[in-house]
Amino acid sequence: MDIYGSGSKAWMGFMAAVLTAFMAGCGGGDEIFGITGGAGGPGPAGPAPALGALGAYGAFGGSGAAGMTNQGILTVITGAQGQPVSIGTTGASTTNDRFHDTTQPYTPPPAATGCSYTETTLNIGRVDGTINTAAPPPNAPFCPLEGTATTFAAAQAAAAAALAAYNDLSPPARPGALVIPANLGGQTLAPGVYTTASGAFLITGANLTLDAGGNANAVWVFQMASSLTVGEAAVPRSVILAGGAQPKNVFWQVGSSATINPSGGGTMVGTIIASAAVSFSTAGNAIVATLNGRAVGLNALVSLVNTVINVPAP
């Protein structure tokens, strides 16, 4: 006995044909999430920029006298997949302040040995890898292989790669950004290129969620002519990844400065490349701020206060 009847069978066949034709006309994929033919592409943003020499860096403090500074004893810059990482600047080693790395046996201050960059008992930042700067070698005679022509060349290469990535993320290179409200707090965004009419993005009032829709290769690019601000004066905010989104595929192209969670705490995600300064937390905050990504100030200081940076593998 046919419980559905011949009319129902005809209707089901018709709907199946319509669905097949619809999927074929759409290319069989999800243009929003970048899934085509079952293979995960980067989505509307296009492929992530090639980071090159910058890929190994958790933070980079601009050129000349810009440098980097740390306050507090809880700062750690490490590879998210256990890989060695770097920080640096094209300036002198003296502009990289209150860090040490793991290339030499280390004793903390006050009698600091190893590659310690003007650390004090209250200001210690660990880098699980190398620190690349211009001369002179830091903490002589304990660190003869840094602050050399070799580490300066490595820093110059990273600076060039950072500028190239910044330009790759810019509106001329990636036009057609979707214009959305300036406050990203409380939003859930699919992969894509985003900008805002005000020129400044902020994440306040609630967290931002980035949903890859099951595509681990999905890419987000946020373009802003001026600043990026995350968190309120007393409340940190976070970027939440969903649907298989990965920190290595999130990028913030910042026309001026980036201020991340001045109250401490919170988890920021992605590679931040700012034309001016980048700061995490403020002096005196003991609550750890976290970045799953990279912090780059092309022309100004990168300032960390009790900040943990988990650097994704390139």
How far from chain centre, in Å, is Cα 1? Answer: 63
Residue predicted with more confidence, 32 or 283: 283
Q: Tens digit of pLDDT for each residue in 99-145?
A: 999 999 999 999 999 999 999 999 999 999 999 999 999 999 999 99
pLDDT, one tens digit per residue, over 250-273 is 999 999 999 999 999 999 999 999
Give the separation between CA 35 and CA 28, rounded to whole angstroms: 9
Is residue 23 pLDDT above 70, yes or no?
Answer: no
Nearest to 273 by CA among 47, 62, 92: 62
The string of DSSP codes covering 24-75 is: HHTTTEETTTTEETTEE---TT-SPP--GGGTTEEEEE-STT--EEEEEEEE
Is the pTM higher than 0.85? The answer reads: yes
**Is the pLDDT score of 9 beyond 70?**
no
pLDDT tens figures, 56-73: 999 999 877 789 999 999
pLDDT in tens, 187-205: 999 999 999 999 999 999 9
Q: Is the pLDDT of residue 39 over 50?
A: no
pLDDT at 62: 86
Average pLDDT score over the chain: 90
Given a cut of 50, is residue 29 above it in pLDDT? no
Per-residue pLDDT band for 30 (boundaries 50, 70, 90) equals very low
pLDDT digits (tens, 9 = 90+) for 171-185: 999 999 999 999 999
Mean pLDDT of 219-229: 98
> What confidence score (pLDDT) does residue 40 get?
76
CA–CA gap between residue 191 and residue 32 (Å, rounded): 7
Tens of pLDDT, residue by residue over 154-175, are 999 999 999 999 999 999 999 9
